[in-house]
Structure 1
């Protein structure tokens, strides 16, 4: 059985138009993957970044996984939330990235986006507040479903991830 260790941190976000941001991440696994130790999801604290500077979260990632197949390689899914002056939480962006296949230290940048919505939803967001969110968040993982979405870029999440692997030479006939 092959093992995968993910150790790192969700450093922060930059380029978002909102000042007070937090992030929720989830590690999405295929059926062949099992969690031995660690958390596969977490929420960060809210950090009030200055315009043009990184909003710092420093949220640890530490997960030990096992698998008998490399199919459905793990992915990280992100939701960035902003807090407005009235204390309401609004979506600032979605993002997704594959866990790197190569062992080693990886500095990753995840480009985030959010749905635009129709004209009425855009007016409501402008004058009343709130934001358009996906009715089915699992759509983030399927690029075929995302094809019909109208979105706009919102910011970038920075992530540092150390990937360690053991025993993959015996999985699905992989030779090293």
Structure 2
């Protein structure tokens, strides 16, 4: 891709979590973009530190995100998958939930929640605190094959991001009506 190819910068953080069963958790995250997208810098996958909160339902995570993509197409705009892992009082990890969102296309600053869910556990699994996990999480990125699951809602992951676009106008693409620098 050339030096004047359109670019997208994603800067922000995984701010925290609310409404999960345990007060201690960590999050694995995965950014995915289409075939015509190439990562220039940053981490597309990672894991937050384990964090706890005794005084409130909000669990701070404060994990930074800083990604830069170059693209040939608006098609395949990045998506973010989160996988939440709860830690009980005995140090055991169990699936807290999965959540998926498409990132905003228009440049700007955003605060939003990713609602999470997990496959429904059997009565026996719930007694011992175990929840089924997906063997292939990539099926979450496709619209097919994920229907028919029995699921339960869990908590929310709070995201704060800035989306910055560059050089789309050089290719005849207007992302926004706003006047952003080098849009």
Q: Output the TM-score relative to the length of structure 1.
A: 0.90
Report the equivalent of 1:149. Answer: 149
- Answer with 84-93 or 49-58: which moved more: 49-58
1:174 aligns with 2:178: no
Structural mapping, 1:91-106, within 5 Å: 91-106=95-110
Report the equivalent of 2:131. Answer: 131
Which has the larger share of helix? 1
Shift of 1:31: 1.3
Report the equivalent of 2:46. Answer: 42
Shift of 1:174: 2.6
1:82 aligns with 2:67: no
The 2-side partners of 1:154 and 1:127 are apart by 17
Shift of 1:134: 1.0
Q: Is the 8 A contact 1:116 1:151 kept in 2?
A: yes
Q: Is the 8 A contact 1:15 1:52 kept in 2?
A: no
Q: Is the 8 A contact 2:79 2:103 kept in 1?
A: yes
Report the equivalent of 2:34. Answer: 30
Ranges in structure 2 where 5+ consecutive residues have no aligned partner:
176-183
Once the two structures are superposed, what CA deviation does each residue of 1:37-81 show, in whole Å capped at 9, x if it has no partner? 111111111112247521100000001110011111110000000
Q: Is the 8 A contact 1:24 1:44 kept in 2?
A: yes
1:162 aligns with 2:155: no
Q: Output the TM-score relative to the length of structure 2.
A: 0.87
The number of residue pairs the alignment matches comes to 171
Dislocated runs of 4+, deviation >4 Å: none
The 1-side partners of 2:56 and 2:140 are apart by 27
